[in-house]
Structure 1
Amino acid sequence: MKITANAAALDDPDCPDDAANDSPDSPCYGKSAGRPRAADKEARLQSLLHTAARLFLEKGYSKVSLEMIAREAHVAVRTIYVKFGGKAGLLNAVITNGRAHFFAGMTDMEADVRPFREVMDDFALRFLELVTAPAFASLHRMVVAEARTTPELADTFYQAGPLRTRQELMRFFSRPDIRAQLRPEVPVETLAVHMLACIMGDTMVRMLFPTEQQPTVDELRARAKQGLDLFFRGVLR
């Protein structure tokens, strides 16, 4: 995705609405007069997140500074602090944004009226598409490589990814209509962990070693079905 200054400039608190600086080095570069429309703000935000994600994956989290991201995205460093609180907050936004792409269009599981198995089929396929995506695999390898020296990276990744997924599943399994179909002696947290383990298999181990070919949708669907069959056999009443 090509990044241009006009698309990347955010609604920067350092830049007045009537800023008209044409220098690429200016945080106001590409900023038109007047308050940006909502669509423009979203485009600029997405461009910043894209730039941050690319730099993190290319250079490693610990080697990327906010100044580097701000320079390439044509925003002020202060803007990143104001909107995200710092580099960890920006990474959280990058992960959350990428995750939302794969689950876009899926009804919130807490309110989904479809049959239990149908909801799980949908979730499992989307989840496997997410964790086998090249960008996610690269992110996972980066976290493993830098977790010991950069604890905030591992914590941010866990909070924005694995923990959030586990909590969503726990809320779904806690629904009275869903809980009634599951073994009552199994805690919802165990149900969530077991469900993810069943559909993931050794996927996380595989991601440590780059592969030349990404699984097809049909292969992922078959893997999801096999894992869910194992899950249902162990937890349904």
Structure 2
Amino acid sequence: MKITDQTAAALAEPDCPESDPSCWGKSAGRPRAADKEARLQALLHTAAELFLEKGYSKVSLEMIAREAHVAVRTIYVKFGGKAGLLNAVIENGRAHFFAGMTDMASDPRPLREVLEDFAVRFLELVSAPAFASLHRMVVAEAKTTPELAETFYEAGPKRTREQLTRFFNRPDVRAQMRADVPLDMLAIHLTSCLLGDNMVRMLFPPERQPTEAELRQQAIKGLDLFLRGVMG
């Protein structure tokens, strides 16, 4: 794994707790926030590559710390351990695909427009090679490493369901839905319509990545299927 000289330099200086007097007064005038963000992103990138390359159970915090040029203590302080670090890796990757999207709970656009925006971003996320690799890793190691499956669910599928449930729970949105469809089923039904058999296909390396146009077409078809079943 290659780390640029610039990234290595940013990571070389460990984070300094504000409660440690020996740190006070150091690096005055430096853009500390930018430095910390650069170190954090490099650490998450390194951890993600190691998890996907070697498998969650075979990667130690010492291994990650050595590759990322940080102290193991830094990882414990920031994330609480390996599961917390994986949680941050997944959340960081998820945030990349939903960056710039208006909060669905307050988005004023028409219902279909909001859901189509979500649908395209969601399919881009689950179609990403890294996500497919992560999914295969979770399936392979879930039985022997329960914390892996739990962390994946909490940081991924659960977050998505909560995001959608907040949207469907809006009075103006709920009023457009069939009253006999339980609120907690709407998010599950939508993601199922969008995914189709993609979760099964993720178990095998794809011959090629879908194009942006293909993903949008899949999003529209899945959304049409969902809306036909739940609109009042």
TM-score with structure 2 length normalisation?
0.92
Unaligned runs of 5+ in 1: 19-31
Give the letter for the 1:153 counterpart: L
Higher RCO (CA < 8 A, seq sep 6+): 2
> After the TM superposition, which segments of 4 or more aligned residues of structure 1 sit over 2 Å from their partners?
1-4, 7-10, 12-18, 32-36
- Report Cα offsets for 1:39-72 as digits up to 9, x if no partner: 1111110000000000000100000000000111
Does 2:75 correspond to 1:80?
yes
Please name the residue that 1:231 is paired with: 226
Please name the residue that 1:104 is paired with: 99
Give the letter for the 1:172 counterpart: F
> SS state of the match for residue 74, structure 2?
helix
> SS state of the match for residue 184, structure 1?
coil
Give the letter for the 2:192 counterpart: A
The two structures, once aligned, show a CA RMSD in angstroms of: 1.9
Distance 1:208 1:5 in 2: 35
- Once the two structures are TM-superposed, the CA of residue 136 in structure 1 deviates from its matched residue by 0.4
- Relative to 1, partners in 2 of residues 1:206 and 1:15: Cα closer, same or farther, differing over 3 Å? farther
Structure 1 residues 200-215: aligned runs within 5 Å? 200-215=195-210
Distance 1:215 1:122 in 2: 17
The structure 2 residue matched to 1:69, chosen from 56, 64, 72, is 64
User: Number of aligned pairs?
Assistant: 225
Percent identical among aligned pairs is 74
Give the letter for the 1:219 counterpart: E
Does 2:6 correspond to 1:11?
no
Please name the residue that 1:196 is paired with: 191
Does 2:52 correspond to 1:57?
yes
TM-score with structure 1 length normalisation?
0.90
- Relative to 1, partners in 2 of residues 1:87 and 1:36: Cα closer, same or farther, differing over 3 Å? farther
Give the letter for the 2:127 counterpart: T
Unaligned runs of 5+ in 2: none
> SS state of the match for residue 105, structure 1?
coil
Distance 1:64 1:141 in 2: 16
Give the letter for the 1:81 counterpart: Y
